[in-house]
Amino acid sequence: MRSRQNRLQSKRRKRRIWIISTILFFFISAIAFAIYEFRSGYLLANDGEEELGGESSNKENFQGVSEDSGKLNVLLLGVDSRGEKKSRTDTIMVAQYDMEARTVKLISIMRDTYVEIPGYKNQKINAAYFYGGTELLRQTIQKNFGIDLEYYSIVDFKGFTKIVDTLAPDGIQVNVKKRMRYRDGAGTINIDLHPGEQYLDGKQVLDYARFRNDREGDFGRVERQQEVITKLKDELLSLKGIMKIPRLLGTLTPFLETNMSQMKLVDLGTEFFIHPVEDIETLRIPVDDSYKNKNYSHAGAVLEIDFEKNREAINHFLK
């Protein structure tokens, strides 16, 4: 009887050891895979190109303010660094993540919006970053629109193209509604897209999002930028996208500047994947019927806006 019990106990021990060993094997394999993919993405992205500059200055100066409601407000910037020490932002967005309501809201502020910049003469809002980096831009957004920003994230356009190619090697499906053709005098921008439903690679997606040389101008560009972000979110939350997260993080690292800690990024990423957001709500500033086209000698062509109307739209949208 005791011999039988000993045999049963021995089998149970072996079974437990086998289960624990299997779990450890898959756990270690997953970690090894994640490290390998992250490293591969980082090496691929950082192939001799310079990383995004100015990180220490922005981090030291940025005085983020948290929302009283507990919602997370992040300043999102897209820059086209070409070796200059200073640059204007091509894309200015405010993203709000409400973990309790599980919503993501995105406000695009058009770069030609004429605003009051603390300590400077009124200018286009993208000049604030040129004058004083993320902190001056944060102050400018707070003063003109009443939005408190706790964090910032800057993505270089070179990194954006590699992010798209890593996340969607076969391209992102986009319906290009019109012929898009533009080449700048310096030869650094060469946009050439034909109409129709098609798959665009990273460079083409960037061209699609940046194009503004038609009657719609920046208004059309902002709409396309919001469309692209929604498509990338859908791609990221797919099963294939989730498997690519380690490589994607490695690809993004050389081209991302943020004051978020790694722990904060992990917490947000975990929360986002456990409770995925179906739709991203969007708003463009200035809203319709709230601006006039003006021209100033010191600023050029600008959008002079009705601040009361736009603040009201923002408050309604966010709260």
Predicted model pTM: 0.80
pLDDT tens, 129-142? Answer: 999 999 999 999 99
How far is 202 from 231, CA to CA, in rounded Å? 13
**Which candidate, 230, 318, 239, 231, places its Cα nearest to that of 273?**
239
Q: Scanning the structure block, which residue is given the tokens 């038609």?
A: 214
Q: Locate 86 and state its tokens.
A: 């200073």
How far is 133 from 138, CA to CA, in rounded Å? 9
Distance from first CA to last CA of the chain, Å, rounded?
Answer: 72
How far is 178 from 165, CA to CA, in rounded Å? 23
Specify the pLDDT at position 90.
83
**Which candidate, 108, 138, 111, 139, places its Cα nearest to that of 123?**
111
- For residue 247, the SS3 value is helix
Residues 6+ apart with CB under 8 A from 48: none
pLDDT tens, 267-302? Answer: 777 777 777 777 889 999 999 999 999 999 999 999
Enumerate domains of the chain plus CATH numbers: 55-318 (3.40.630.190)
Specify the pLDDT at position 54.
47
Identify which has the larger pLDDT, 11 or 237. 237
Residue 169, number of CB atoms within 10 A of its CB: 11
